Amino acid sequence: MRLKPRTLLTAAVLPALLAPVLAAPAALATPTALAAERPATRHCTVLVSPTRTLGESCTDGRSAAPAVRDGQTLLLEEYADVNYGGGVLYTFYGDAGGCDATGYHLVNYIDVALNVSSMWGYNNCTKATLTSPLDKVETVSLPASYLGKDFNDAVRELQVFRG
């Protein structure tokens, strides 16, 4: 069977025309290109009492984590991505030891509240009651590798405690 000249021209030209278009997404999706677009993660260390925030220190994500003083107890780390990925956004320390049945009330700034996807509790902080920006409330066990559809990137405040 003999192809018509018009069909031969299309079959020969089409791959040449599509090659740059098909190659472009692959070039844009390289890990190096994606890493260059993603801003550095801001990391904050927060000191809390059981009822209020006592102080906060933040970095731009490129420098070392803020310093911690003696007598401060690590309570919770909040991560940007599920499965504890994407870097730590907030690290909470308590001034009254680890968690008890009452625990500590923690508040996220809006830029953190809309980015928290997983969290890890320390020093008897085994539960967290989460409140979303839409006032949904749910208690999760810690560590929590995924906060669920209502709380992924939506944790306005939380109460961490021993449960």
Strand partners, 127: 141, 161
CB burial of residue 135 (10 Å; 0-12, 13-18, 19+): exposed
Is residue 103 packed enough to be buried (19+ CB in 10 Å), middle (13-18) or exposed (0-12)? buried
Q: Give the pLDDT of residue 135.
A: 96
Sign of the alpha-carbon dihedral angle for 65, 52, 153, 141: positive
Position 34 scores a pLDDT of 29
- The CATH architecture to which 39-161 belongs is Sandwich (2.60)
Which pTM was predicted? Answer: 0.69
> Has residue 9 got a pLDDT over 90?
no
CA distance 11 to 29: 28
Question: Within the chain, which residue ranges are assigned CATH 2.60.20.10?
Answer: 39-161
Q: Which is more confident, 110 or 14?
A: 110
pLDDT of residue 56: 83
What pLDDT digit, counting tens, does each position of 60-114 carry?
755 555 556 677 899 999 999 999 999 999 999 999 999 999 999 999 888 889 9
